[in-house]
Amino acid sequence: MATATKTIRQKLEYRDGISHYFETTQELFNRVAAFYFGVIEAHPAILSFPPTQALTKLEQLTHVTATNVNPVMPLLEVATNVPALFRRAAIHAALGQAHAFFTSLAKWRKQKEEWEAKLQRKQNRSPKDQTQRSPKFKLRPPVPPRHWNRSVTFYAGQYKELNEDFILLKLYNGQDWGWFKFGHSGRPLPQGEEWKMGSPQVVRKGKGKGKWDYRLHLPFLKSFSSPAKAEKQVLANPELKICAVDLNLEENLAVATILNSEGTPLVTRFIKGGREVNGFRKRLLGWIAINRSKTGLLKEGETDNIRLWQQIKDLDENTAHRVSRRIVEFANQNGATVIVFEHLSNLKPQKGKYSKRSNLKRAYWLKGKIFNYTKYKAWELALLCCRVSPYNTSRECAKCHAIPLVRYAEGQGQPREGYKVGAPLVYCPVCGMRGNADRNASIVIGQRFLARYQNLKEKPPTSLPAMVG
Ligand SMILES: [Zn+2]
């Protein structure tokens, strides 16, 4: 079985007076979690038990009941009026943190031991070196968290009546608990029985000037049978369709082509809008540069830039989500079960103005973002994402595989010799193929992926270049 998870982030609607209750609830949650972290530190053997048993052991050590009158480390000394399900959520937060901490501590100890053993061996080999000062082990040990700042997890019983628009949360005001109803809005919750919801969290986010905003995070989990490995799909499924994607820095942000198992292109989708995104981002970066040059004179310059950077971040995020969603939809609608990209090649350093250089860098990062988002969106539908070598993908002819192609722009008349970077059309001097440059690159990417595995099959005799076309 495979699983996919996603978190739906929702805006919570609440009056200003209520936000204080989120704070007191979160403070209590962290006080309880920090207390349990301390209990685990004092009884580290607890970590060797599975979660449910570890929870029982921790409650025996801390929780007063009719049969457990004198626990070793009573929770009552740190906090009173802690509902059972709130306590359990805090215990799980502490257990998670403790597992992470003790794992990295064990790793650090092992590194230190190995380092010392190595030093010892060296000294045994040449004892005269002992007079020399030996280098110290410099890596610092991990430290347990000093401040606890976890978001509150609401187990069933601490929240209720969740629907598309509302949720009821049990909150602490410093003395008592009460139920509060909140509106929430944002992305629609995933439909379909296969998605199971986990425990909601209320997440605090800085709004600047010491103000906080509280959001609702709803985690969803889906289980499905694992898709076959890429190699198996290529070798065992003659009906296989793949979706090959060429990502770009220009107008065509992505060009996706569906190929059958033979490597024949079936249909292509152009996902455009690169010019608008790049133009808008470049303008924002230009304003940032202007503000920077004035910062010495204008204090406001910096706050302005925070807003501008946020706009750039939002632009890139939204673009990455939009493009990745369209790629996955296109692949899925056409029955493709594997999506193929090329590895990102290194970004060549650019000369020129700040806005131009930064814009290119961010456009390049955007490609990475689109790949990552496509990968997790595809996985929810049990589609695989793979990558191939980017070597010459835009200079190779998809028909006869000759290198290099001639790139030219429309209206240039007969394509001439040479390779004009960024020109939209290609012409192959070997086989006479003409077509869109980005579409050609996407087909080459798909064929390269298929060839990786088809080489494992018996190879048919290759025809001589003169016989092609
Ligand atoms: Zn050709």
Q: pLDDT tens, 326-361?
A: 999 999 999 999 999 999 988 777 778 888 888 989
Q: How far, in Å, from the CA of 371 to the mean position of ligand 1?
A: 29
- Whether 114 has a pLDDT exceeding 70, the answer reads yes
Q: Cα(254) to centroid of ligand 1, in Å?
A: 23
What's the pLDDT score for residue 17?
A: 80
Residue 468 pLDDT grade (very low, low, confident, very high; cuts 50, 70, 90): very low
The sign of the CA dihedral 382, 388, 394, 398 is negative
CA of residue 390 to ligand 1 center, whole Å: 19
- Residue 359 Cα to ligand 1 midpoint, Å, equals 34
SS (H, E, C) 91-154: HHHHHHHHHHHHHHHHHHHHHHHHHHHHHHHHHHHCHHHHHCCCCCCCCCCCCCCCCCCCCEEC
- Dihedral (Cα; 345, 350, 353, 355), 10-degree rounding: 10
pLDDT above 70 covers a percentage of the chain that reads: 90
Q: Is 458 exposed, middle or buried (0-12, 13-18, 19+ CB in 10 A)?
A: exposed
pLDDT above 70 for 198: yes
Amino acid, single-letter form, for residue 330 = F
Average pLDDT, the chain: 88
pLDDT at position 456 is 60
Name every residue whose Cβ is closer than 8 Å to that of residue 370 and which is 6 or more positions away in sequence.
247, 253, 254, 319, 320, 323, 324, 327
Name the more confident of 374 and 146.
Answer: 374
Query: How far is the centre of ligand 1, averaged over its atoms, from the C-alpha of 434 (Å)?
Result: 9
The pair of structure tokens assigned to 235 is 């070798």
pTM, full prediction: 0.73
Distance 451 CA to ligand 1 centre (A): 17
How far apart are the CA of 342 and the centre of ligand 1, in A?
21
Break the chain into its structural domains and give their ranges: 14-124+139-178, 230-454
Handedness of CA 434, 436, 439, 445 (dihedral sign): positive
Highest mean pLDDT among 108-117, 296-305, 406-415: 108-117
Q: How far is the CA of 400 from the centre of ligand 1 (A)?
A: 4
**Helix then strand then coil, % of the chain, to nearest 5:** 45, 20, 35
- Through-space distance between the first and last CA atoms of the chain, rounded to whole angstroms: 47
3-state SS assignment for residue 267: strand
> Tokens 């007191």, residue?
24
Q: How confident is the model at residue 136 (pLDDT cuts 50, 70, 90)?
A: confident
Q: Cβ–Cβ contacts within 10 Å for residue 166, how many?
A: 12
Whole-number Å distance, alpha carbon 345 to ligand 1 midpoint, is 24
Does the pLDDT of residue 465 top 80, yes or no? no
State the Cα–Cα distance between residues 223 and 468, nearest whole angstrom: 48
* Spacing, Cα 256 to ligand 1 middle (Å): 20
> Given this structure, which CATH class describes domain 230-454?
alpha beta
* Rounded Cα–Cα distance for residues 454 and 460 (Å): 11
Q: Give the 3-state secondary structure of residue 340.
A: strand
Cβ atoms of 207 and 29 closer than 8 Å: no
User: Would you state the pLDDT for residue 249?
Assistant: 86
Task: For 174-194, give one letter per residue: b (16+ CB within 10 A) or e.
Answer: eeebeeeebebeeeeeeeeee
Residue 219: both structure tokens together: 């985690």
The CA 419 to ligand 1 mean position distance, Å, reads 15
Place 422 in a pLDDT band, splitting at 50, 70 and 90.
low
The answer to whether 242 and 233 are in contact (CB under 8 A) is no
The alpha carbon of 265 and the centre of ligand 1 are apart by a number of angstroms equal to: 15
Measured in Å, residue 404 CA sits from the centre of ligand 1 at 9
Which pLDDT value is given to residue 188?
Answer: 87
pLDDT digits (tens, 9 = 90+) for 8-36: 999 999 887 888 899 999 999 999 999 99
Q: Give the mean pLDDT of 422-441.
A: 89
For residue 404, what pLDDT band results from cuts at 50, 70 and 90?
A: confident
Considering only residues 388 and 421, tell me which one the structure prediction assigns the higher pLDDT.
388
The pLDDT > 90 percentage for the chain reads 62
CA of 46 to the centre of ligand 1 (A): 66
Tokens of 275: 């010019």
Distances (CA, A) of 179 to 31, 80, 172, 267, 426: 21, 19, 9, 55, 66
Collapsing DSSP states into helix, strand and coil, what is residue 269?
Answer: strand
Tokens of 90: 């805090």
Measured CA distances, 95 to 33, 39, 41, 63, 148 (Å): 9, 10, 10, 16, 13
CA 37/CA 31 separation, integer angstroms: 10
CA of 323 to the centre of ligand 1 (A): 30
Mean pLDDT of 123-143: 76
Predicted confidence (pLDDT) per residue in 265-303, tens digit: 999 999 999 999 999 999 999 998 888 787 665 555 567
